[in-house]
């Protein structure tokens, strides 16, 4: 599908009013030729940083970049490096001021496409992670397209999706993500009512989940207590309640019922609520964690910090609830940070500083370090604890339908995958004929104790 001439003319007019800092840097007479390479390296570094933090270009992003990247603790910088990097950022800020004065758009095509998709997603009430997913795919597509005119053609999107399906070894769900993201982009951003992508997705086999044995979970938790004590309770709770990673870190005080022994998962996968079990063995530890969180909450209130993040509708309806303890995180972050969703907002152009929850990637890395220290030679991530929860329940005789409810699976076929990894009466329920034969050291007597197996 191609756009009519008026649409193309509008695109070309908009292109004329866009500036590119890379092009202008290469032609700038005020920067010596020997300094351009250093400026380019510095500004690419800065651009990657601010885009990763979802911050608009400007002095606020430059200050944060200087504080967190350039002056990073434990890293020594040479004087000439600091001078060159400062000069590069100063040139960039002056270039931004010139853009603003001329009314030009300084953003690259991927950044503009990313912003447009997020804006449309916010307008239509998409979940934040859905907006991040769709905008990420759209920005990647924009880089593939190369220019705005090509990016607005369905044929270009078809070529991009074909390359994802045929050239990349990605799961079927990933292919669907890419397709849905581009469909959203064309419908809600470009105004194409019914884009038809001539691409057929490739089915991929479901992967068997990584499951820890009960002995391995004990070893993992022992290493967590010894080496990663700050995250030990979170790991035990994730395993004991079968939580997804984001469900764990987003737990709020009000979601914990110590008396009834339950946890309430709010807006889980598919934006659904559910209840799961709070292990009896963890109730005292969770109660202590609540009091530790209360101390952090009191410090934040005394410091006059903004309340925690709230879903948009509730933030409008319950304006003071974000400062209440019941909405505070069960696992709060150690440090405060700028809320990226508020950067550039009215009254707070540099963003609102607030207390976020424990960062998912920080917790996940702690799990991996503890697994390596425990000598567990599997691809262990935090999600392996959820898989282990389901598998161990199944092996213990818990009904598959009940496990489905605890995990929050919409379709029981998703839960049935644990039948392939469970062992025992409720799992595989099979004894190998080799074990019954008593051969190769598995049986009793001389053949089992004194003889080895020759492997061919």
Choice among 140, 301, 359, 383 that is catalytic: 383
Assess whether 383 carries a catalytic annotation: yes
Question: Which one is catalytic: 269, 274, 356, 359?
Answer: 269
| Other Cβ atoms closer than 10 A to 282 | 18
Q: Please give the structure tokens belonging to residue 288.
A: 């202590």
Q: How far apart are CA 367 and CA 247, in angstroms?
A: 16
Q: Is 251 helix (H, G, I), strand (E, B) or coil?
A: coil
The verdict on whether 269 is a catalytic residue reads yes
Residues 6+ apart with CB under 8 A from 316: none
> φ and ψ at 138, to 5 degrees?
-65, -40
Which of 170, 206, 171 is CA-nearest to residue 417?
206
Three-state DSSP at 209 gives coil
Nearest C-alpha neighbor of 151 from the set 159, 165, 200: 159
Residue closest to 21 by CA, chosen among 142, 105, 84, 138: 105
Is 134 a catalytic site residue? no
Please identify which of the residues 112, 236, 357, 386 carries the catalytic annotation.
Answer: 386
From 112, 223, 355, 409, active-site residue: 409
Catalytic one of 106, 118, 131, 244: 244
Q: Count of CB atoms within 10 A of residue 295's CB?
A: 10
User: Shortest CA distance to 107 belongs to which of 55, 178, 35?
Assistant: 55
CB of 157 within 8 A of CB of 186? Answer: yes
Mark whether 239 is an active-site residue.
no
Whole-angstrom Cα distance, residue 144 to residue 157?
A: 9
**Helix ranges (DSSP H) in 71-171:** 79-102, 109-123, 128-145, 148-151, 154-167
Distance between alpha carbon 359 and the CA centroid of its chain, in Å?
Answer: 9
Active site residue 231: no
- The CA-based dihedral angle spanning residues 396, 401, 405, 411, taken in that order and rounded to the nearest 10 degrees: 130
**String of DSSP letters for 66-81:** IIIIIT-TT----HHH
Strands 274-277 and 262-265: antiparallel
Are 326 and 252 in contact by the 8 Å Cβ rule? The answer is yes
List, by residue number, the catalytic residues. 244, 269, 383, 386, 409, 418
């Amino acid at each position: 599908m191609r756009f009519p001439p008026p649409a193309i003319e509008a695109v070309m007019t908009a292109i004329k009013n866009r500036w590119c800092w890379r092009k202008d840097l290469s032609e700038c007479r005020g920067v010596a030729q020997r300094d351009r390479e250093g400026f380019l390296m510095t500004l690419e570094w800065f651009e990657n940083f601010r885009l990763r933090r979802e911050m608009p270009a400007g002095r606020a992003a430059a200050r944060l970049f200087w504080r967190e990247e350039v002056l990073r603790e434990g890293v020594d910088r040479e004087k000439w490096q600091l001078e060159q990097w400062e000069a590069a950022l100063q040139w960039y800020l002056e270039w931004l001021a010139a853009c603003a004065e001329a009314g030009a758009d300084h953003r690259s095509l991927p950044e503009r496409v990313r912003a447009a998709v997020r804006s449309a997603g916010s307008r239509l009430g998409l979940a934040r992670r859905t907006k991040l997913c769709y905008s990420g795919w759209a920005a990647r597509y924009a880089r593939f397209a190369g220019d705005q005119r090509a990016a607005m053609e369905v044929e270009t999107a078809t070529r991009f999706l074909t390359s994802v399906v045929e050239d990349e070894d990605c799961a079927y769900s990933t292919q669907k993500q890419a397709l849905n993201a581009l469909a959203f982009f064309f419908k809600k951003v470009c105004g194409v009512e019914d884009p038809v992508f001539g691409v057929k997705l490739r089915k991929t086999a479901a992967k068997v989940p990584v499951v820890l044995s009960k002995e391995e979970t004990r070893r993992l938790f022992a290493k967590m207590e010894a080496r990663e004590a700050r995250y030990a309770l979170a790991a035990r709770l994730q395993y004991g309640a079968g939580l997804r990673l984001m469900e764990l870190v987003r737990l709020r005080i009000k979601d914990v019922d110590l008396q009834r022994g339950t946890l309430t998962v709010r807006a889980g996968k598919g934006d659904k609520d559910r209840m799961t079990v709070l292990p009896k063995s963890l109730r005292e530890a969770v109660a202590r964690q609540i009091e530790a969180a209360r101390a952090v909450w009191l410090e934040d209130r005394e410091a006059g910090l903004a309340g925690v993040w709230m879903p948009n509708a509730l933030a409008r309806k319950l304006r003071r609830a974000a400062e209440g303890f019941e909405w505070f995180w069960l696992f709060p972050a150690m440090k405060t940070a700028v809320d990226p969703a508020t950067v550039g907002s009215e009254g707070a152009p540099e963003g609102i500083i607030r207390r976020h929850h424990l960062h998912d990637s920080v917790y996940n890395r702690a799990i991996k370090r503890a697994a390596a220290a425990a000598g567990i030679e599997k691809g262990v991530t935090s999600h392996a604890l959820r898989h282990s929860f389901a598998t161990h329940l199944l092996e213990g005789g818990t009904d598959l339908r009940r496990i489905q409810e605890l995990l929050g699976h919409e379709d029981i076929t998703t839960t049935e995958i644990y039948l392939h990894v469970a062992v025992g009466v409720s799992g595989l329920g099979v004894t190998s004929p080799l074990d019954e034969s008593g051969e190769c050291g598995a049986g009793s007597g001389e053949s089992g104790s004194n003889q080895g197996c020759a492997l061919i």
